[in-house]
Chains A and B, each alone.
Chain A
């Protein structure tokens, strides 16, 4: 059983208290749920962090990430130039605060427009490995959930996110695999491709537990654990 534990977390920069300043307590609950889900990954021998980016790229565990581009240059991880896209930098930042920080780690960015079939294939490849992997899947729901969303309300955003939430809770590989990439792009749901990689992994039979599903700023956030 190569993927022994998996977690799904969102990646808003607002999770980083140095960025949120006085607004940080508003996300205390979400941050705690994320850290708890990541903590569960520490049963593995090594960690793999998946998230959306502009291109398919792999990074080793020492890769640099920074939140300077969002206004907090003091918050960094890894060494060297900040190369990690936001989703992976957030994943690394979460890991650093848990006991999973001690495990060897690598990162994979998947393009936001990656085809579902390619994502599933990648998930199956990860699941077919021999290492006991803890998989951290970074992904956000629709950024069009409300009138005050960053991108204006889309009538299908809520049902899309609810479908994802239910699929994560049930570890329903088929539903995640069937998410429509064009609709997800239209809804500005950054998590579609990483979730479809997870779908390939979930075919091995992990069970899911959704611990957070809300859109406090008009963007869907999910936290789930798979064991």
Chain B
């Protein structure tokens, strides 16, 4: 097994215990949370500049709404992502650029344009994605969607043990990626909350995230504003920020390493505090009752 302590993405290295924050920037007109706020190129660039200023280590660019929606051709996905990735690379030479795609054709073109990580949210639906990651030396996210096809929604997904299923699936994808030549220190596993899961199952994954962390693969969590938080608190997408921070905090405490979020400043604060609680970082300054 390769050295799994350090995660290397682009020019950055994230040591064990260090939390990496991934800002979501969608190049879609219809994603569930932002509803097209960063569909236009200039708005998207400004969102990235702001995310970097707020403490994002990575940005995750998506050209296709994850859930069911209008079909997006590969050509259209390329139009939404490739030049944009090149533009980000020019503006932010050090920023780790992730692209959320399940198509190897898109993965190849964004890797050429400077992407450092392929976030294959649909769990290897296109097995060539791993080959592209291997060829270009990018990282790869290995996801769990319970066997769903891309862009479909779960219906009565059943698992004897959802955590065991996630571990089995994501580690098999990670092993397959290593066999395909992907850098082991660039591979992440993602339980992929909500995808192919009901709320009770996503809650169970969150509760037992330490079991995923114990596999040794760095765990990415994407809980931000998702339905399992909304259903738990009975809140619509615009009001799930506090619940998101709670899920994020517990995930961090249980060993997640990379956090995909909409609200970067809030997540950065929460993760900075958890890092200190875990003893992997020091408080910024401690004067109270000490002078």
Q: Which residues of A contact B (CB under 8 A)?
A: 12-13, 19, 22-23, 68-72, 86, 143, 150-152, 188
Residues of B near A68 (CB, < 8 A) are: 160
Residues of B136-159 at the interface with A, using a CB-CB cut-off of 8 Å, are: 152-156, 158-159
Complex-state Cα separation, A86 to B156, whole angstroms: 9
Interface stretch of the complex, out of B37-45, B196-204, B255-263: B196-204
Docked-complex contact A150 and B154, CB < 8 angstroms: yes
What is the minimal beta-carbon distance from A213 to any residue of chain B, in angstroms?
20
- Contact in complex: A151, B158 (CB < 8 Å): no
Number of B positions contacting A (CB below 8 A): 17
B32 part of interface (Cβ distance < 8 Å): no
- What residue of chain A has the Cβ atom nearest to residue B201's Cβ? A71
A36 and B68 CA atoms in complex are apart in Å by 37
Do B156 and A13 touch across chains, with their CB atoms under 8 A apart? Answer: yes
Partner of B200, one of A22, A72, A150, A152: A72
Tell me the chain B residues, 174-211 only, with Cβ under 8 Å from chain A. 198-201, 203-204
B200 x A19 contact (CB < 8 A): yes
Q: Which of B154, B160, B203 contacts A69 (CB 8 A)?
A: B160
Contacts of B156 in A (CB 8 A): 12-13, 70, 86, 150
Among A71, A72, A150, contact of B155 (Cβ-Cβ < 8 Å): A150
Select the residue from A12, A68, A70, A143 with max chain B CB neighbours within 10 A: A70
Q: Which of B154, B159, B199, B200 has the most CB of A within 10 A?
A: B200
Query: Is A143 a contact partner of B155 (Cβ separation < 8 A)?
Result: yes
**Are the C-beta atoms of B234 and A71 separated by less than 8 Å?**
no
* A51 to B: closest C-beta gap in Å: 13
**Cβ contact within 8 Å between A69 and B158:** yes
**Ranked 8 nearest A-B pairs via Cβ:** A71-B200, A150-B155, A69-B158, A152-B68, A150-B153, A71-B201, A69-B159, A143-B155
Contact indicator per residue, chain B 231-245, by CB within 8 Å of chain A (1) or not (0): 100100000000000
CA distance A72 to B158 in the complex (A): 11
Instruction: List chain B positions with a Cβ less than 8 A from chain A.
Output: 68, 152-156, 158-160, 198-201, 203-204, 231, 234
Inter-chain contacts of A23 with B (CB < 8 A): 231
Task: Provide the bound-state CA to CA distance between A70 and B68, in Å.
Answer: 22
**Min distance, Cβ A158 to any Cβ of chain B, angstroms:** 18
Check B198–A70 contact: CB distance below 8 A: yes
Q: With the chains together, A23 CA to B230 CA distance in Å?
A: 13
Residue of B nearest to A188 (CB): B155
Q: Which residues in B have their C-beta under 8 angstroms from that of A86?
A: 156, 158
20 A-B contacts, Cβ less than 8 Å apart? A12-B156, A13-B156, A23-B231, A68-B160, A69-B158, A69-B160, A70-B158, A70-B198, A70-B201, A71-B199, A71-B200, A71-B204, A86-B156, A86-B158, A143-B155, A150-B154, A151-B153, A151-B155, A152-B68, A188-B155
Bound Cα distance from A79 to B199, whole angstroms: 27
The listed residue with most B CB atoms (<10 A of its CB), out of A22, A69, A71, A72, is: A71
Bound state CA distance, A152 and B160, in angstroms?
27
Contact A151 B152 (CB under 8 A): yes
- Given A70-B200, A71-B198 in contact, is the A22-B155 Cβ separation under 8 Å? no
> Nearest Cβ in chain A — how far from B184, in angstroms?
33
Q: From the candidates B68, B160, B198, B234, name the one contacting A22 in the complex (CB within 8 A).
A: B234
Looking at the assembled complex, report how far the CB atom of B91 sits from the nearest CB atom of chain A, in whole angstroms: 38
Contacts of A150 in B (CB 8 A): 153-156
Q: How far is the CA of A70 from the CA of B153 in the complex (A)?
A: 16
